[in-house]
Structure formats: C-alpha cells, structure tokens
Amino acid sequence: ASVKEKRSPRRKTSSDCKSDVDSENICLFFLRKHCSYKDQCKLVHFKLPYRWQIYEGTWKDFTNMEEIEKDFCDPSNKARGGSPPINFITMTSNSCKVRRLSTVSSVTKPEHYILTTEWLWYWQGDSIKWIEFGKQEELYGVASVTSADLENLYLTQSIETVEFRAGKYNYKLDFKGMLQINLLLGTCRGVRRRPRFISEQQMTREMYSKEQPGQGKDYPPVGKTAPTHWDLKNQPDIGYKLVQLQVPSEDYKQVESLFQKTMSNSTIRKIERVQNLPLWQVYQWQKEQMKKKSGKEVAEQLLFHGSKSSLPTVVCQQNFDWRICGMHGNGFGKGNYFATNASYADGNSPSPLSSRTMYLVKILVGEFTKGKEADCRPPSKDNTLTNLYDSCTDNVADPSLFVIFDKHQIYPEYVIEYVKKVGFFQWIFEKMSGQSAATK
C-alpha cells in the first residue's frame, strides 16, 4: 500500500480573521521588486516563490532550498536524504516540523500572472511511476479531470471528493485521504499534489522577459486589454500611470458630478485617472469568473473611499488592503469599506484644513446581503461553504456602503484631491485644535 500524502492546509475558513492570515503566502509584488507596502506588507517577503523552513524553537531557513524544492517537485519522492533528511509525507525532519511557504496557487490568478505556484496532481501507476491527471499514458486512459480542475476543487473548502472517468472505469478522488478509488473494483491508488519546479535562474529569466514590453504571457499587449479611453502614451506594462483629467472632459464631468452630489462644500483641486494595466486585467478576469459562476451579468458600481494622502501610491500600485489601509468601519465585516456617496467617505479623511484624498472606485458588488461585524468573507446563500454572496452591505434595500473581501473585485479608477470650504470661526477652531494636538 502506498503511503498517504499529508494534506496541505486548504483555503481559509471564515474563522481565520487574524492579521497574519496570509503569513504563509509569499508576496508576488516583492518578488518583482514592486511591493509598495514594504515593511507593512502582511505577506512574506522572500527572494524565491518558495521557502523551506525547519522549526527549532523558531522557524529557520534551510540553506539548500532549491535542491529541496527540486526533490519535492518529483512526485515519486516521499522523502529526501542528505543532512538534514526531510520526509515530504509527514513534513518533518527527524523530530522537527518542516514547512514550505509559497506564492498563491496559479488557479487563483489570471493566466498571465507569473511566479504563482502551479500545483500538479498525480496518481500512482502500477509501478513506481506517477502520472499527471489529464495526461495521456499508453497503459491508462486519460482522466477526465486535469491538475487545474483538481486544484480548483481542492481549494474549495466543502468539497472532499470528486468523481471522474479514465478509460473504461469511474473513479472517486478522496482529498482527505489523498486516494484514488476505482468505483467498480474498489482498488485504491495514492494521489500526490506537487508544484512545478522553477529554479532561481529560471525565475530571474522569466521576470526579465516579462519586463520587456509585448514579450511573454505575463501581460497581453496593452492596446488589446486597456480601456479605450485610457491615454496609452508611455503606459508601463508593470506598475501604473496617473493621468490628470482636463476640466472640460467627459470623465472629469462624470466624477465631479458624482462627488458634488453630497460634497458641494468642497473644492476639487484635481482628478487623476489610475491606469494600472495588471490591476485592470485582474479586475476584468474576476468579473468574468463571477459572471460564469452566477450565469448572469455582474452588478458593478462606482463607490467612494476616503483615505490618507500618503496612501495613493500604495493603492494605485497594489490595490486596497484593509489590514493596511484600514477598514473605515467594522460593523458589517472585516474588509474594505466603500460608500455610495462622497460625504460618507469624507469622514475618513484628515482635517478640513489640509488637502484631502478620495478614490472613486469600480466595485464588483455582485449579489450582496447584510453583513455582520465578525464576517471575514461574505455569508453563504444556502449554508454551504462554496455558494457565497459576493459582498456585504449595511442595508440591502438602500445601501450606503459595501464591504468587499476580495480585492480582485476592486479597481481604484480615480483619485480626487480636494479641500473643504470652511467658515472663519471653523477655520480658527481647526487651527487651534491642530496646534493643541501638535504640542501634546
């Protein structure tokens, strides 16, 4: 009988609301030298898309990670020798725990993303050979499921088994036991989930090729994916560009009109459009995924988010992260809060005497329900762990705010810089309050 593969932790449940919820995920932006959050980032900053560590009172790095990774990626290896030895099934080295940190699974990102972890699924043949699901083999029929299919199902918390066909037999794959069961004969075979190997040299080469405009699969040609109203002159393939809107333009009038509906006591200094192609592509990909899941068009809204003036670079580069940008509320869930009117969002900006920053953001609100303070994700529609709402709100009939838990549903489209119009006595009060605070 084959030794069972130790099942890796699957997708987080609603109880996982700690600030270090992603502490075992390596930051993709850091790998590409573009993490604007720097020391505030809640993800792991490391030079490789994987990191092998041993627990000896604290987690310590192995010195030969690339060699360990290469051995682990071979599904026929249940352990490696050397010093120290590692058992890949129990994830131990002698009596010490071992862990592998990595970037997120490739199935959770659009295809053009690089340096995500591509997990491959294998089943054990009649000999020591391990066969990838969905691949043709002479002695066996092709399985009706692929590695990507299984990875998507594996990351879905409530699914413990999946049935499929290969050749003339029907099978059941048990995710908990990591076994493949022949439903007619009752025979069992081991199943293993291992990443596709990438060396540090390959990683560097892949990153370099993607930084050349129009090369590789990382980002499709700009003109084919960017909105038609963008100014594509000097548009970077990686990163973002801020384009100041001209006062008579239609874009400016639209943003100004939405803003002034509830902010007539403010003066707009400038409005800038955020042109971040990678973020835009992820947003469009997420929209398509939601459309496929629901079978209908996805509800989309333009919403406001007040912010500190120090955050625009971070948000424009990497999108909103409520753990760093702040939730601006917590009564309806732990996520990013966006308001239907500008005056609500204005309450989260600094003192009236200073220049303020507000975002007008495209949001895929989808299907929503009233949120609760403890929610770390949208509630279920039918008490299952997979059929969830897309967002939460304060009032389903007449929402004044939305809570978004997945930043792929967010695109920070415009940055508005403005100042409040204040009377003389209010100006004196604010001035004195500021001086008093400064002396404390």
Asked, for residue 6, whether it belongs to a domain, the answer is no
Q: Which domain holds residue 170?
A: 28-195
Does one domain contain both 170 and 238? no
Indicate which CATH number applies to the domain containing 187.
3.30.720.50
Does one domain contain both 92 and 228? no
How many domains would you assign to the chain? 2
Does one domain contain both 233 and 149? no
pLDDT in tens, 382-432: 877 668 899 999 999 999 999 999 999 999 999 999 998 865 555 455 555
Question: What local confidence, expressed as pLDDT, does residue 171 receive?
Answer: 94
Asked, for residue 302, whether it belongs to a domain, the answer is yes
Question: What local confidence, expressed as pLDDT, does residue 224 receive?
Answer: 54
Asked, for residue 7, whether it belongs to a domain, the answer is no
pLDDT bin (cut points 50, 70, 90) of residue 437 is very low
Question: What local confidence, expressed as pLDDT, does residue 385 receive?
Answer: 66
Does one domain contain both 43 and 164? yes
pLDDT bin (cut points 50, 70, 90) of residue 103 is very high
**Residue 388 near residue 379 (C-beta atoms within 8 A):** yes
Does one domain contain both 145 and 238? no
Asked, for residue 21, whether it belongs to a domain, the answer is no
Mean pLDDT lowest for which of 156-160, 271-275, 291-295? 156-160
Asked, for residue 433, whether it belongs to a domain, the answer is no
Provide the residue type at 328 as one letter. Answer: H
Question: What local confidence, expressed as pLDDT, does residue 328 receive?
Answer: 54
